[in-house]
Amino acid sequence: MTARFQVWAPDGIGEVVPGDDLAALVGDALEADGGIEDGDVVVVTSKVVSKAEGRVREAHDREAAIDAETVRLVASRTSSRGVLRIVENRLGLVMAAAGVDASNTPEGTVLLLPEDPDASARGIRAALAERFGARLGVVVSDTAGRPWREGQVDLAIGAAGIVPVTDLRGTRDTHGREIVVTMTAVVDQVASATELVRGKAEGRPVAVVRGLAHLVTDDDGPGARALVRGAADDLFRLGSEEAYEEGYSTGFDEGVAEATDSSRERDVEVESDEL
C-alpha cells in the first residue's frame, strides 16, 4: 500500500481584522473549496489568529512589545539593521523578537503572537467540527529560524485534536535494534508542509492536510505546548557570546573566592607561627 498525503490551500480569506469570527471565515473558505472530511487537519497561520484576536500594536511600541513578551534573553547581536534579540517568550518559545512580527500587517503596526495558541486551536476545531460534522485536527503555525540552519520554517505553536509528537522510543528499527532517542515532532512537520502551498504573500493563510487521519484524536489532546523544551533541559540555552560571558564571570567570581580563602588560610598560618 502506498503511503501518501495531500496538502492544499484554498482561496477566499481576505484581510482579517480584530473582532472577526475567524472560525466562520475559515469555514466559509473550506466550504467553498468542497468542505473537509473526517481525519483532515486544518492549519491556520498565527498571523490571522492574532489579527482576529486583536493582538495588534502600534509600530512605535515594538520594542516595548518585545520586552513585554520576553521571559529570558537567550542572545542578542548588533548589526547595521539594529539589535536582534533571540528570547524565550511567555509561551516558552525561543524566537527572534519574541515572535513580534511586522510582516503581513498594516503599515505602522506589529503583531503579537496569540495569547494562548492551543486555546485558539481548540476554539477553531470545535466550531469547524460542529459546522462540518467531521473529526478533525487544527494547527496554529508560525515561522521561526533554527539553530545551525539557514532559513526559516513553519512550526506548530498551537494544536488541538492532533498528536503533537510520536514517541518511537522502545520500538525496533528495520534491523531489530531498539530505538532509544527518536521522538518525531509530527505536528511541526504538518505545519511546515503546508507552508509550501500557502506561500508568504499569496493571501492563503489556511491549508488542509488529508491522509494523516491516524494522527487525529477524538479529544483536543495536549496541544503544541507539549513540544516546548524548558531552558533547564536545553543544551544551547544561551548564545555563544552570552555563554562565554556567563562562564567567564562565574570563573572569575570563583577565582576571587578561592584567592580570598587561600589568603585567609595564609594569614591564619602566619598568626599560628607568631604564637
- Which of 78-92, 168-182, 213-227 tops mean pLDDT? 213-227
DSSP readout, 3-30? ---EEE---------TT--HHHHHHHHH
18 or 262: which leads in pLDDT: 18
256 or 183: which leads in pLDDT: 183
Answer yes or no: is pLDDT of 264 > 60. no
What would you measure as the largest C-alpha separation in the chain, in angstroms? Answer: 98
For residue 263, what pLDDT is reported?
A: 54
The answer to whether 60 touches 49, Cβ cutoff 8 Å, is: no
**Which residues fall within 8 angstroms of residue 241, CB to CB, at 6 or more apart?**
75
Mean pLDDT of 120-139: 98
Identity of the residue numbered 232? A
For residue 270, what pLDDT is reported?
A: 46
**Which residues fall within 8 angstroms of residue 144, CB to CB, at 6 or more apart?**
93, 95, 96, 99, 152, 153, 154, 155
* pLDDT band of 53, cuts 50, 70, 90: very high
* pLDDT band of 164, cuts 50, 70, 90: very high
Helices (H) and strands (E) in the chain, counts: 6, 12
For residue 269, what pLDDT is reported?
A: 53
For residue 247, what pLDDT is reported?
A: 81
Answer yes or no: is pLDDT of 258 > 70. no
pTM of the model: 0.85
Answer yes or no: is pLDDT of 21 > 90. yes
For residue 259, what pLDDT is reported?
A: 53
Mean pLDDT of 17-42: 96
126 or 103: which leads in pLDDT: 126
Mean pLDDT of 81-101: 90
The rounded Cα 193 to chain-centroid distance in angstroms is 15
- Give the C-alpha distances (Å, rounded to integers) separating 271 from 259, 266, 275: 18, 9, 6
For residue 268, what pLDDT is reported?
A: 47
For residue 108, what pLDDT is reported?
A: 82
Q: Which residues of 195-215 are buried (b: 16+ CB within 10 A; e: fewer)?
A: bebbeeeeebbbbbbeebeeb
* pLDDT band of 94, cuts 50, 70, 90: very high
Rg of the Cα atoms in the chain = 25
Answer yes or no: is pLDDT of 48 > 70. yes
Answer yes or no: is pLDDT of 196 > 90. yes
Spatial separation of the C-alpha atoms in residues 83 and 70, rounded to whole Å: 15
